[in-house]
Structure formats: C-alpha cells, structure tokens
Amino acid sequence: MQTQEMIGAHPDVRGGVNQALVDAIDALYSCAQACTSCADACLAEQMVDRLRQCIRFNLDCADVCAATATIATRRTGSNEEIIRKMLDACVTACRLCGEECLRHAEQHEHCRICAESCRHCEAVCQAAARSV
C-alpha cells in the first residue's frame, strides 16, 4: 500500500500527514481482506454449522472496515464527525469479530490470523479516532 505517499501528495495535507490515520487505513483494508477470507474459509469447513456466527461477524466486519477505509482516505473535506463515527463502528465490529474468531483459533488457523488482524485493527482505529 502506498497510502502514506498518496495522503502526503494531497493539496490540503502538504506534508502534515496524520500517521495514526494512515496506519488505520492500511489496517482497515488488511482487516477487510482477512475477514472476507475467513468467512469463506469458515464456509468451507466441515463443521460449518458451528461457524455461522463467525461468518456473520466476519462479513459485517469486512463491510464496516471497507467503508471506513474509503471514508478515512477521503479525509480532507473536514468531515471528521463521520470519520470518528465510522472508526468507532469499526472498533466495535473488530472487537466482536476478533472475540468470536478467537474461540475457533485453536481449530482453525484462518480464525487465528483473522483474530489477530481484528485486534490490531481495533487498536489502530481507537488511536486514529483520538487523532481526528
């Protein structure tokens, strides 16, 4: 991802890059990928009936993260109120999804990696929310 370069080249930013927001954007795209992948991997597991809730949290979390990544990228119109609300929704989505994935982390490697991705994304979104 060339997020930092792109944000730095924005006429309203001129070098004053908000690093916490850049870190959040990268984590959000990454978490959207992990959750989408985990939902599909769960769907392929023999015990899919025990992973219904995990699939749902994965899909919700992927949608919230993808929308927030886009909105945080389009940050310069001083639309901080929306960014903060969306980062806050991400913190919740990542917490719930990460907790559910953790329950299946010993049996399923994809749930273990996804839980880590959610936990990381939750932390950087919290930091970014305080920075905008």
Chain positions contacting its own copies, by CB under 8 A: 1-3, 5-7, 9-12, 25, 29-30, 32-34, 36-41, 43-46, 48-49, 52-53, 55-57, 59-60, 62-64, 66-67, 69-71, 73-77, 79, 81-82, 85-86, 88-89, 92-93, 96, 108-110, 113-114, 117
Of the pair 89, 123, the CB lying nearest its own copies is at: 89
Separation of alpha carbons 34 and 12, rounded Å: 32
CA nearest 132: which of 65, 63, 73, 60? Answer: 73
Please report how close the Cβ of residue 130 comes to its own copies at its closest, in angstroms: 17
CA distances from 28 to 3, 106, 107, 125 (A): 12, 24, 25, 8
Q: How far apart are CA 114 and CA 32, in angstroms?
A: 10
- Of 79 and 131, which has the nearer Cβ to its own copies? 79
Record the tokens describing residue 34, joined without a space.
């992990």
Cβ at position 127, least distance to its own copies in Å: 18
